[in-house]
Amino acid sequence: MSRQDRRQFLKSGVCAGATLGAATAVGARKSARAADANSEIGLGFISCGGRAGELMGAFGKLEGVRTVALCDPDQQRLANAKKRFPEAEAVSDVRILLEMNNVDAVVVATCNHWHCLAAIWAMQAGKDVYVEKPLSHSQWEGRQAVAAARKYDKICQLGTQQRSDPMQAEIKKFLHEDKALGEIVSARVNRYGIREEIGKRTTPLLIDPKEVDMNLWLGPAQEKPIFRSKLQYDWHWDWNTGSGEMGNWGVHVLDDLRNNVLLDKVALPKRILGGGGRVVWDDAGESPNIHFVYFDTGIIPVVIGLSNLPAEPGSRKSPPHPAPGSGYIAYCEGGRLEGQRGSAVAYDRNGTVIKKFRGSGGMGYHQQNFIDAVRSRDRSILNAEVQIGNDTTGWCNLANIAFRAGQPYDGQQNIDLGAGQELWDNLLSETKHGLAPYGLALNSDGIQMSSILEMDAATERFVGQHADEANGYLKRQYRAPFVVPEIA
């Protein structure tokens, strides 16, 4: 890190309460260590939660990589991780971890609201970053993470591990080079996975400060009472800290679509129309448990259907939808390809299987790919470089905005979507069937839908009709001093 970059890092508040002298030394040494292709890479884990545990295992299998630091404001989780890595230094405050000389790269696997800030602070401190999906909690901060990777010349990979599954290259060849199914005409993305209510307390959840330092856990999020039953994991369904199912599984399935079907040619959709609701459940969650969105990509029409409800009360099956439950379908002139994590099947026009693809899901490969880039200092070899990660996350952020900026559903489905009309009508019809067993319809209370929202890909802002409300969701309110800096 240059002296000027270091000054900006200190100004950003990263080192508040920490030794400035030590921080200066860290930055100077880091670049030199990271440039050495043979030295051991020291990893710091920012989070000791569920996903971090899996990543500790995956990175632990790689040669020349050692977990040297652990961080979590949840003392029990931190202590458990420390048992696994007794030699690693364990701290509650990410700012202290970022000062450690022996941390070359960090793994950010916190709740979503911390991803960008932790990643940016880490890059300012001279570390490379593996950050879990979704990259951002709101679209503006993802742009800052991309800018930070460029400005500080850091390796930054998003944790969309399916990108590193060797199967994806075979699928791309089959669809685009061999054109084995002819032209792709449209695509459908699915996330059908049953979840449960998260509780609705009458009094706020009390957290013992000896167990979790809530100031550090909240970081950039607003301080407000929590009425769900448990703190961890279910933050996904609270807009203050999470991004709903769209920003959870939605990132993986939309990333596969962008990668395999669109070859990353569409950074963000040009127009979007979306609706949904948190229905049936009476809990403290906010994000939709049914969500249906149309994306105008400028190339082919795309829709995503998402439901966390069972087909009917008590059922273990999801509502009707074309297979796969979590994946994508590329509809082509000569058949269709159904892809999901670790496998894909191609069918001809008559529905006969013509090819099967087997993959691994990408775990192990993706972490190795990051380490290879850290050693070579070559971000071009990354399979999910932060810019790609920002684009895919963008689709999810926009889909959430369409829901949040929506109005009570009133039949706006009559909008003419041209080539995308059939895809959209089918999705709405399935959604209606999914609601019927609960005595609900698309115009029931709690279901809302946007009008068509237009996006300017260059500025990553909505333009035209209804842009103002939607633009209000592009950047969150930060809680000082946990403020994502604008990176020029």
Map residue 406 onto helix, strand or coil. Answer: coil
Only one of the segments 46-54, 315-323, 457-465, 466-474 lies at the binding site for ligand NAD (rule: CB under 6 A); that segment is: 46-54
Q: Is residue 73 involved in binding ligand NAD (CB under 6 A)?
A: yes
User: ∠ CA(181), CA(183), CA(187), 5° rounding?
Assistant: 90
Q: Tell me the closest approach of the beta carbon of residue 45 to ligand NAD, in angstroms.
A: 8
Q: Is residue 233 involved in binding ligand NAD (CB under 6 A)?
A: yes
Cα–Cα distances in Å, from 217 out to 80, 93, 232?
17, 9, 10
Q: Tell me the closest approach of the beta carbon of residue 436 to ligand NAD, in angstroms.
A: 32
Among 109, 147, 382, 487, binds ligand NAD (CB under 6 A): 109
Q: Is residue 357 involved in binding ligand NAD (CB under 6 A)?
A: no
Q: Is residue 396 involved in binding ligand NAD (CB under 6 A)?
A: no
Among 9, 14, 56, 77, binds ligand NAD (CB under 6 A): 77
Only one of the segments 44-52, 273-281, 313-321, 446-454 lies at the binding site for ligand NAD (rule: CB under 6 A); that segment is: 44-52
Return the residue nearest ligand NAD (CB atom): 49
Instruction: Show the tokens assigned to 90.
Output: 């364990």
DSSP secondary structure code for residue 146 in this structure: H
Sign, CA dihedral 260-264-269-270, equals negative
Q: Distance between CA 115 and CA 127 in Å, rounded?
A: 15
Residue pair 305/187 in contact (Cβ under 8 Å)? The answer is: no
Q: Tell me the closest approach of the beta carbon of residue 68 to ligand NAD, in angstroms.
A: 15
Q: What contacts 68, CB < 8 A, 6 or more positions away?
A: 42, 43, 44, 87, 88, 89, 100, 102, 103
Instruction: Show the tokens assigned to 188.
Output: 């459908």
Among 12, 67, 112, 297, binds ligand NAD (CB under 6 A): 112
Tell me which residues in 237-266 interact with ligand NAD (CB under 6 A): 248
Only one of the segments 106-114, 195-203, 274-282, 381-389 lies at the binding site for ligand NAD (rule: CB under 6 A); that segment is: 106-114
> Binding residues for ligand NAD, how many (CB under 6 A)?
28
Q: Is residue 161 involved in binding ligand NAD (CB under 6 A)?
A: yes
SS (H, E, C) 282-322: CCCCCCCCEEEEEEECCCCEEEEEEECCCCCCCCCCCCCCC
Instruction: Show the tokens assigned to 299.
Output: 């190339």
Q: Is residue 114 involved in binding ligand NAD (CB under 6 A)?
A: yes
Cβ closest to ligand NAD, residue 275 vs residue 389:
389
The residue ranges that bind ligand NAD (CB under 6 A) are 46-52, 71-74, 77, 94, 109-112, 114, 132-133, 159, 161, 216-217, 219, 232-233, 248
